[in-house]
Structure 1
């Protein structure tokens, strides 16, 4: 019987280990879900970082990568101008920084899991060893998304929004499946690297990964080619007030005279109604305002809604009015109201996750509203709500045809929030309209195609118009939800238990394959029982 353990234990070494750390950090800066994202960087960053941690003591490797995560956190906050929306040196800034650090810490945990567990799993085969890192990535990403405020940021999957064949995978697995695929590439590539590209050693694992990748791309290509929206289309529009008016309404604070504030709000409302009327007469059947498009005092809210009802009756349209309720110098509600062509209120929805920047706004009840219309089955959330899986899964299997997502961003996040939100359209099989202040106003179909886009910063008044299908499509993810993710979590737990069991049974003095560096001679290593 072959000896399964080499005679001596040696720590893996790599003289260039800190170069890999530096390259991993550099790529990570451009793969952090920011304005400067480079899709390829999201594939390369974890490869260099994993190469680094594989050649370090587990704890020291974890701490170095955590330090890299801290640098990326600070860079992302700087890049996004996040602090410009808050008061400097305030407690809320410190809380937000700690939240993002916690999120990034969970992003680093997969490297530690890989370093600790892969050593044991290697005895069961290179293929199983290659799965530890992606399983850890999916598990930690799921925990971030569900347990950490703003934890849905920083998924590597979102950096791939422009690769339509690849991202069709999320219609089966959600974004977690794409994250798994990207980090599995990392693990497999690192294994090939460690074996000095010795084809006989890495052939099986490499071919399995390439086969899966090809199947994913084939599925994406087939879905794009044969699931093209072919039903009747209707014209939809996202409209806003003029930029100066919109910004003036948003800047009203407690020091503004009430009469002046009322005048500013009325001006914004009238511009929105005029733009909506113009679009209705141009043929739009569903019109949506961006988040906090205007404001109203509590006692004037009925009047605001009444003006929308009058417009829908006259023009025979559906109108979603998104506005803030303002009282005592603060916004106390972030609301969206859908009015049907008969002037009836179909829903009144308060944002479920208003965020810490609007601390005076209470969380909404978190129930996604829906309405059956002659133009399809409609639903709506507001802005960041679309990134909370528990909320969006409420209507995942309810045949929604069009999702309305009024949005508003701070200037530094320009570009990526709208693109990231487009993943919901692919996951659940509906078209998505997202008019957004201080960002791109965008409309997507259920394959992720951009049907229309307008830039807040290059237009005086955003009017985003597109023809969207009146019928969505069925998706596997919409039916099974996060089943793939739960299978990944269960697999990680199972493999971890197996590693612990093996470690308790093997000789204490016996090292593992990870303990000695590859010589580059696969034949000698196999004879030594190393592989």
Structure 2
């Protein structure tokens, strides 16, 4: 009689089956989602922590890859929209229901890189697979930059202050930084999936780390070896302040609706004159103090169209008297015309001549765009003792394709009068710088 003896390996009994491993991974994916959610709050916008911008997509990508499509992608979409809402609270000037419609639409490009990675990365392997997510993310942000909101929301802005890293902007634009952050996330997931024992994953990690380190080292070397050596010039930027009598909202509404009465126009002229006189007085004080370039904030000087010529002439007289370059940022009010507002910068030379009138090329979508005359989008440049001077206005600075003209003009000094509200201060200034 034959007998058989079964030998049992207790370790084999402890190994979960394929279904159990899938369930375990699925349950853990919610932990990765919670970690991503916490990091997303600080990965961009008002309360940015630069490191959080690198770590948040690591865990979000982990969640999306390990969850089933019909669960992972909708949840990721909702979380990214919620994260954006917190990051940029108060920064989107769209009122009422239209704001929520904007969020629904804006969420599509936020989740799109994750969708592309989820659908394509598993069809590839190794290094090519790790490049799907960063390429999709950088490409999505590039396409968005050509839309009505420019580069708003780009993760690259989260790295403000890291001057060594930011030197890559001169080569790749914002999208080089976006690519590096996305590649870091993809490579971390590659290591996570294959383990540290995988020679292939370790090689990819070393390649990614080497690329980031090289960018940082070369950027640092550029600053150390080629520091700014040009002369400096004293510039004064002046913002409007509340001046009595203030203009009521009702009068403003009737003006822009083309229904202003004669009494309204008298009130508007009285208010504009008080504002303009205050700005001229403060500009003159800065000129007397030695400023060689003086300009006001965006549309800070309200002026009726019929009064514009005389007002500019007053500024030209000051520029001649003190031998300065004077940027008069005007909000020119046109009665009976739609759109009714010219948002412009008039640059006066020391000889009193007008160098140019630049109208804002990119009004903010919404009420502002409906009111303003749109400029032609062509930058002007003036050769001065302080270098080539050019100008844009506020939101124009969020469109790289517009600003690319400054490089072609070899601009040294860019005047950017702005009129930011508290929610985007200092975020918008950091974006511009």
TM-score (norm 2): 0.87
SS of aligned partner of 1:343 = coil
Change beyond 3 A, Cα 1:412–1:248: farther
**1:29 Cα deviation after fit:** 2.3
Larger relative contact order (C-alpha < 8 A, sep ≥ 6)? 1
SS of aligned partner of 1:393 = helix
Change beyond 3 A, Cα 1:73–1:214: closer
1:108 match: 111
1:132 match: 132
After the TM superposition, which residues 362-401 of structure 1 pair with which residues of structure 2 at under 5 Å, given as runs? 362-401=373-412
Given that 1:240 and 1:275 are in contact with CA atoms closer than 8 Å, whether structure 2 keeps it comes out as no
Please list the CA deviations of residues 346-401 of structure 1 after superposition, one character each: whole Å capped at 9, or x if unmatched: 01011111122311213211111211122211111100101112211123222111
Asked whether 1:80 is paired with 2:90, we answer yes
Given that 1:246 and 1:293 are in contact with CA atoms closer than 8 Å, whether structure 2 keeps it comes out as no
Please list the CA deviations of residues 292-341 of structure 1 after superposition, one character each: whole Å capped at 9, or x if unmatched: 11201110111111111011010100011112112449851111110000
Q: Distance in 1 between matches of 2:320 and 2:104?
A: 50
1:339 match: 348
Change beyond 3 A, Cα 1:411–1:250: farther
2:232 match: 233
RMSD of aligned Cα (Å): 2.4
Asked whether 1:26 is paired with 2:29, we answer no
Q: Distance in 2 between matches of 1:113 and 1:293?
A: 45
After the TM superposition, which residues 433-452 of structure 1 pair with which residues of structure 2 at under 5 Å, given as runs? none
After the TM superposition, which residues 179-194 of structure 1 pair with which residues of structure 2 at under 5 Å, given as runs? 179-194=178-193
**1:62 Cα deviation after fit:** 1.8
Q: Distance in 1 between matches of 2:150 and 2:82?
A: 17
Please list the CA deviations of residues 423-480 of structure 1 after superposition, one character each: whole Å capped at 9, or x if unmatched: xxxxxxxxxxxxxxxxxxxxxxxxxxxxxxxxxxxxxxxxxxxxxxxxxxxxxxxxxx
Asked whether 1:167 is paired with 2:179, we answer no
1:503 match: none
SS of aligned partner of 1:244 = coil
Asked whether 1:272 is paired with 2:261, we answer no
2:72 match: 61
Given that 1:294 and 1:323 are in contact with CA atoms closer than 8 Å, whether structure 2 keeps it comes out as yes
Q: Distance in 1 between matches of 2:107 and 2:177?
A: 19
SS of aligned partner of 1:396 = helix
2:259 match: none
Report the count of equivalent residues. 401
SS of aligned partner of 2:390 = strand
Change beyond 3 A, Cα 1:231–1:249: farther
Please list the CA deviations of residues 40-90 of structure 1 after superposition, one character each: whole Å capped at 9, or x if unmatched: 22111111110001102234322111111221243345x22645xx6x53x
Q: Distance in 2 between matches of 1:151 and 1:108?
A: 18
Q: Distance in 2 between matches of 1:250 and 1:282?
A: 35
Change beyond 3 A, Cα 1:120–1:68: same
SS of aligned partner of 2:234 = strand
1:351 match: 360
Asked whether 1:292 is paired with 2:299, we answer yes
2:242 match: 244
Q: Distance in 1 between matches of 2:105 and 2:200?
A: 38
2:144 match: 144
1:214 match: 213
1:40 to 51, 57, 62: 51
SS of aligned partner of 1:379 = strand
Comparing 311-320 and 194-203, the one that deviates more: 194-203
1:470 match: none
Change beyond 3 A, Cα 1:205–1:104: same
Q: Distance in 1 between matches of 2:248 and 2:328?
A: 16
Given that 1:237 and 1:288 are in contact with CA atoms closer than 8 Å, whether structure 2 keeps it comes out as yes
TM-score (norm 1): 0.71
Comparing 346-355 and 323-332, the one that deviates more: 323-332
2:29 match: 17
SS of aligned partner of 1:63 = helix
Given that 2:381 and 2:409 are in contact with CA atoms closer than 8 Å, whether structure 1 keeps it comes out as no
Comparing 251-260 and 160-169, the one that deviates more: 251-260
Given that 2:191 and 2:201 are in contact with CA atoms closer than 8 Å, whether structure 1 keeps it comes out as yes
Asked whether 1:413 is paired with 2:413, we answer no
Q: Distance in 1 between matches of 2:245 and 2:416?
A: 20
Change beyond 3 A, Cα 1:397–1:195: same
